[in-house]
Amino acid sequence: MREILGRRRRRLSRRKGGRPELINAALTYATEWRWPVLPGAVADPQGRSRCGCPDPECRTPGAHPFDPGLLAATTDARMVRWWWTNRPTAPIILATGGAAPCAVSLPALPAAHALAALDRRGTRLGPVVASAGRWAILVRPYSMEQLGELLYAKDFVPGSLRFHGDGGYLPVPPSETGQGAIRWERAPLPGSAAPWVPDVEAVVDTLVEVLTRTGVSAPEL
- Output the pLDDT for position 42: 79
- Output the pLDDT for position 16: 45
Q: Which residues contact 191 (CB under 8 A, 6 or more apart)?
A: none
- Output the pLDDT for position 216: 60
* CA–CA separation, 100 and 61 (whole Å): 23
- Vertex 52 angle, CA 50 and 53, to 5°: 105
- Output the pLDDT for position 9: 36
What parts of the chain have a pLDDT lower than 50?
Answer: 1-16, 221
Domain boundaries, the chain: 2-214
Tell me which long-range contacts 144-150 makes (C-beta under 8 A, separation of at least 24): 146/200, 147/200, 150/200, 150/201, 150/204
- In tens, the pLDDT along 1-45 reads 333 333 433 343 344 455 789 999 999 999 999 999 999 987 666
pTM over 0.75, yes/no: yes
SS3 205: helix
CA separation, residue 84 to residues 1, 99, 167, 177 (Å): 20, 22, 22, 15
* CA–CA separation, 109 and 63 (whole Å): 20
- Output the pLDDT for position 126: 97
The pLDDT mean for the chain works out to 86
Angle between helices 77-86 and 2-15 (to 10 degrees): 30
- The phi-psi region of residue 122 (left if phi > 0; otherwise alpha if psi is between -120 and 50; otherwise beta) is left
